[in-house]
Amino acid sequence: MNKILIAILMLVATNGCKSNDNQAKRVPVAKAGSVMLYYDEIPGQVKEGINPSDSAAAIRNYINKWAKRELMFQQAEANLPAELKNDIEKQLKETWVNLVMYEYQRMMMLQKMDTVIAQQELEKYYRSNENSFILTSNIVKALFIKLPVETPNLIRIRTLARSNNQKDFQELESLCFQFAEKFDDFNEEWITMDRLLLELKEDISDQENFLKRTTFYETGDSSSVYMVSISDYRLRGSLSPSEYVKEDIKRIIWNNRRIEFIQALENGIYNEALKENRFKIY
């Protein structure tokens, strides 16, 4: 079989430079029961090999898998009870209908549905549904720094990390770029306190009390010093900041639009069919 496959590869390679008209005749490579496998049905990546021998091995492996699958299918088809075949046909039809409808709906949504969500709409939804956006975790805006214990100017870095001055922050960035193992500025986004504690590798049982009394925290181990500067926080049970749930609100609004669009599409097609007498109830 290996010699045959190599011969097929050489034949296809020879014909590769000819016109498509000359390639109209398909090259059979295997037969399972009454079903024929042709060379052009083998995936391209299977046929791509370093040399004809490697390609032949890959093709032979593909043919064996194809044959086992095809023969199993033929055996199953010949022996399944008629009622089970009918059930399968019903499931296939239902799946086909759902897939066709889904793709058509998606196409129409891409063509006609408004996907732009204005900031005003986000704020309106947020204000109207505040009870849906109650925090289940403590969240913070913070600066996290991890430094080797032997870092020079630790006292200066500690002072800069406590500062709210922009020039001090720029100096801090410069020093951390040189020495820090990690420098994460979360002052422009909210993160959960749990995520911050993962960085610290500590467990603070009373997070609420910690946040109420702490703006700067430092800890360490034998190899590293960890610094956290907390600029803002919100406690669990309070209303989420709008920017923290902005992406969630976008998804909710978009999903609501999608549902309304599909319903309008269905109703439009239904009403049009009624007008044109393409739908009747007997």
pTM above 0.75, yes or no: no
Q: What is the tens place of the pLDDT at every residue in 89-111?
A: 999 999 999 999 999 999 999 99
The string of DSSP codes covering 183-213 is EEEEEEEEEEHHHHHHHHT---S-HHHHHHH
| Helices 2-15, 52-79: inter-axial angle, 10-degree rounding | 110
**Residue 225 pLDDT class (50, 70, 90 cuts):** very high
Q: Are strands 28-32 and 182-192 parallel, antiparallel or unpaired?
A: unpaired
Q: What is the tens place of the pLDDT at every residue in 204-222?
A: 889 999 999 999 999 988 8
**Residue 58 pLDDT class (50, 70, 90 cuts):** confident
Tokens of 216: 């700067």
Tokens of 11: 């034949």
